[in-house]
A and B are shown apart, each in its own frame.
Chain A
């Protein structure tokens, strides 16, 4: 059976991986390839590398950065940031990307999605949709949340799907970096309106938020900040989702089979007998 995915997001600004807060404040994390390598080793089901300053600087994500990340990434790697034409996408796929993510350029020119899909197949094209809650409903923004798209959220979803999007990466601008949980209403609104997979993003702070987004209709969940700061964060989060009833892929060498959890979502310490018994167990080396 197909397992729901936990996707690690790596936003990059000016070549540095960052933590993003509501799309307008940023904290530096360090080198993107190191963030990618950790997410990969910790069992992320996919990794999305987004250059969030590329569009406004009228360039696309640097293929050299993609190459460095791909060299250490054994997980599918989606890349995005300023991709506005097929040639740029082609160079990125040659550099090690597996899928292409478009946002601003697709908002201006939905035919871009057609051109990408007819060349690389629909399954290769992820359209990122950034939604913002207003008093009169949802608004779709592009260019890092600075430009309004002249289409409603419902129209955006339907236009992108009919132009050949393979997946929708749905971001809640309001929840971005908040650790308050995904905007479940937003997910519930969008999931029934498309036939392609929906990836929820924006706001995850606790493993329970991930399971809640799946329950609200997302096919996959993406998180950035909550995954970058603790060792084995991805495996632990997936184990927590498994305990909430979602069958997850847990085939990394370390996968915490009998883990207990604290209310914070962190692992509880194993009992003394267990720790004693494991004291002299030798773990197998990384098989690859």
Chain B
């Protein structure tokens, strides 16, 4: 089963590829929509700043392609860290910039209470809905690796499926149908991270994508 990693020049793509390869998936790192069309599921990775990320997606036509894959083809997509934030309506990182608007929510700076430092870096406990497909067989309160200064706040908590606590509660993961986002880095979260990616791969394997001709509409 091919999993596409959307390559827009931002992020730890090498790490994401290595993690998927360790799980036996065929990771396809590409910025070409033809390559990604042929994948059963997609990952939008991201280590970076919001504005250059959106600019790079747009410059390569990937913003429109992501909408096509998610809305029309119903391909499962997992956004990681910045990749999750890009799915929001907008972000205040370095100004106010429009995102992909695939989920109702805004990205804002972390402002933890107390004397906690920002960025929020390290292993934090994640409290997830145990019924959620992404967290199947992952013990409640498992540690995942976080590294971020901004976070996604949802307009409605209906799609929230996991939270973290860092001087206040924050969104760790959401699921809206076949669209997923995680604020932490599963590719770098040892056992729990590998288990989460395995769950995503299982979801992709059980998903029936919608095919539209050759996919070049």
User: Which residues, 112 to 145 on B, are CB-close (under 8 Å) to A?
Assistant: 116-125, 142-143, 145
Q: Which of A4, A95, A99, A120 interacts with B122 by CB under 8 Å?
A: A4
The smallest C-beta distance from A260 to any residue of chain B, in angstroms, reads: 25
A5 to chain B: closest residue by CB: B122
- A232 CB-CB contact with B under 8 Å: no
Q: Which residues of B contact A288 (CB under 8 A)?
A: 22-23, 190-191, 194-195
- CB atoms of B117 and A5 under 8 A apart: no
- B202 CB-CB contact with A under 8 Å: no
- CB atoms of B123 and A45 under 8 A apart: yes
CA distance A127 to B127 in the complex (A): 32
Against A, the Cβ 8 Å flags (1 = close, 0 = not) of B1-29 are 00000000111111101110111000000
Whether A76 contacts B142 in the complex (CB less than 8 A), given A97-B14, A166-B119, comes out as no
Interface centre among B13, B18, B82, B94 (most CB of A within 10 A): B18
CA distance A75 to B122 in the complex (A): 11
B120 to chain A: closest residue by CB: A2
- CB atoms of A3 and B143 under 8 A apart: yes
Whether A93 contacts B47 in the complex (CB less than 8 A), given A98-B188, A196-B118, comes out as yes
The smallest C-beta distance from B57 to any residue of chain A, in angstroms, reads: 14
Q: Which of B13, B119, B120 interacts with A94 by CB under 8 Å?
A: B13
- CB atoms of A220 and B119 under 8 A apart: no
Q: Which residues of A contact B146 (CB under 8 A)?
A: 2
- CB atoms of A195 and B193 under 8 A apart: no
CA distance A77 to B11 in the complex (A): 13
User: Which residues, 81 to 111 on B, are CB-close (under 8 Å) to A?
Assistant: 82, 94
CA distance A90 to B23 in the complex (A): 25
- A167 CB-CB contact with B under 8 Å: yes
- A121 CB-CB contact with B under 8 Å: yes
- B148 CB-CB contact with A under 8 Å: yes
Q: Which residues of A contact B189 (CB under 8 A)?
A: 74
- CB atoms of A123 and B122 under 8 A apart: no
The smallest C-beta distance from A199 to any residue of chain B, in angstroms, reads: 9
- B149 CB-CB contact with A under 8 Å: yes
Whether A197 contacts B123 in the complex (CB less than 8 A), given A98-B188, A118-B52, comes out as no
The smallest C-beta distance from B7 to any residue of chain A, in angstroms, reads: 8
Q: Which residues of A contact B210 (CB under 8 A)?
A: none
- B34 CB-CB contact with A under 8 Å: no
- CB atoms of A249 and B143 under 8 A apart: yes
Q: Which residues of B contact A70 (CB under 8 A)?
A: 14-15, 18
Q: Which residues of B contact A262 (CB under 8 A)?
A: none
Against A, the Cβ 8 Å flags (1 = close, 0 = not) of B140-172 are 001101111100000000000000011000000
- B38 CB-CB contact with A under 8 Å: no
29 residue pairs of the A-B complex, CB under 8 angstroms, read A4-B122, A66-B14, A70-B15, A74-B190, A74-B191, A74-B193, A76-B145, A76-B147, A77-B15, A93-B12, A93-B47, A94-B13, A96-B14, A98-B15, A98-B185, A98-B188, A118-B49, A119-B10, A119-B52, A121-B148, A123-B149, A166-B119, A167-B121, A197-B119, A219-B121, A220-B121, A251-B142, A251-B143, A251-B191
User: 4 tightest CB-CB pairs across the interface, nearest first?
Assistant: A96-B14, A123-B119, A288-B194, A76-B188
Given contacts A123-B148, A288-B195, 20 further A-B contacts (CB under 8 A): A2-B166, A3-B122, A3-B124, A5-B123, A74-B188, A90-B9, A94-B14, A96-B15, A120-B48, A121-B149, A123-B121, A124-B47, A124-B48, A197-B117, A197-B122, A219-B117, A251-B191, A253-B191, A287-B191, A288-B194
